[in-house]
Structure 1
């Protein structure tokens, strides 16, 4: 698993407190993962967060989901759920003290699910990414493609947005991404029809070429990587990009 920037791990004491404060059964490797890498975003999809027993309490009154006799929890029990993650689309991943398994509270569906996970049978510390992969397959019916990476929430991340004007002498955004790979070899490349991400360890982040919008380029970097950021910004400006104020 590629780690985008220096992790900000939770302490062992914090993780022990989470385990002792509630009788909920957390998924295998979850607390250990937080102790190793801290909170962050897994493969640009799932936000891995420390247990939060309060965020779902208001949802018990919203009437967002149907609760029939086959449902895993009642509407009132939503307030007792402990959220441990959210997707970038707004779905919740949670546990409940009286439920063995993970609860999936979807944003765009009326039914809460208990996720059947084979990874529950494993106890290795490194198994939590496998749990997340299994959740993705169950929810979306397919596996995520491309490299596995984790973006820790450091609290010291900065960014700059630039625009590549169109013109007869200007490269296209995919061409610019290719030029960047040649001139500054990245540590990891993730490219789809919609975007290209070039990851650099010395930047503590990545450059995103937003193919979907056609002109947007963004640099995400750690504040202590000013030299690397300045060099990358200057390179992009030299190729015709303009900073967006």
Structure 2
């Protein structure tokens, strides 16, 4: 698994929370993952977060999901859940003391789902990344084919937004991506019909090219990588990109 930037350690408060008596509520693989990598975003879709006992409390009153005899929890029990993750689409991944495994509370569906975990020692041997990949396949009916990466939330991330102006003269973003790979080979490269990511360890971040829109180029980097980001900005400007003006 490629780690985008240096992980930020958990706070003392969160370490104590994970080591408390109720720590048995959480999958061991989840605890190990948090302790090693900290909070962050896995493969661009799942935000791995420290336990949050408050965020789902109001949802017990919203009537967002249907509840019948097959539901893993009652509507009232939603408020007793502890969220341990959210997707970029707004789904919740949670645990409840009376439910074995995990709970999936979807944003765009009406049924809460229970997600079983491997029993006993098997779960201890399975990485949390593998568990998340299994959840993705279960919920979306397909696997993610791109490389596996994790983006820790460092609190020191900076960004720069550029655009490739429309017209016949400038490079297409696919051409810019190919040129970048040739002249400044990335440490990891991910591309699909919609977006291209070029990851660089010296940035502690990546370049994101919006292939679907055809114009936006964004650079995400750590504050400590100011010199490397300045060189990357200069290179992108030399290839025809323009910096966004917010005025």
Shorter chain as normaliser: what TM range?
A: over 0.9
1:123 corresponds in structure 2 to 124
| Cα drift, residue 141 of structure 1 | 1.4
Render the CA deviation track for 1:142-175: whole Å, top value 9, x for unaligned: 1111100000000000101101012332111100
Matches within 5 A, 1:42-191: 42-118=42-118, 121-124=122-125, 127-191=127-191
Q: Distance in 1 between matches of 2:5 and 2:109?
A: 34
User: In the superposition, relative to structure 1, how do residues 60 and 67 fare at CA in structure 2: closer, same or farther (>3 Å)?
Assistant: same
Distance in 1 between residues matched to 2:119 and 2:127, nearest whole Å = 7
Structure 1, unaligned stretches of length 5 or more? none
Q: How much does 1:10 deviate?
A: 1.5
- Residue 224 of structure 1 aligns to a residue whose secondary structure is helix
After TM superposition, the runs of 4+ consecutive aligned structure 1 residues lying more than 4 A away are none
Q: Which residue does the alignment assign to 1:231? A: 231
Q: Is this contact kept in 1: 2:204–2:222, CA < 8 A?
A: yes
1:78-135 deviation digits (Å, cap 9, x = unpaired): 01000000000000000001111100000010000001333763213x6111110111
Q: Secondary structure at the match of 2:143?
A: coil
Quote the Cα distance in structure 2 between the aligned partners of 1:23 and 1:152.
22
SS at match of 2:224: coil
CA distance in 1 between partners of 2:192 and 2:228 (Å): 25
Whole-Å Cα distance in 2 between the matches of residues 208 and 59 of structure 1? 34
TM-score by length of 2: 0.94
Find the aligned partners of 1:154 and 1:230 in 2 and give their Cα distance: 20
8 Å CA contact 1:67, 1:111 repeated in 2: yes
Q: How many residue pairs end up in the alignment?
A: 244
Deviation at 1:13, TM superposition (A): 7.0
Query: TM-score normalised to the size of structure 1?
Result: 0.95
Q: Secondary structure at the match of 1:185?
A: coil
DSSP 3-state at the match of 1:186: coil
- Name the residue aligned to 1:26: 26
Please tell me whether the aligned partners of residues 17 and 23 of structure 2 are also in contact (alpha carbons under 8 angstroms).
no
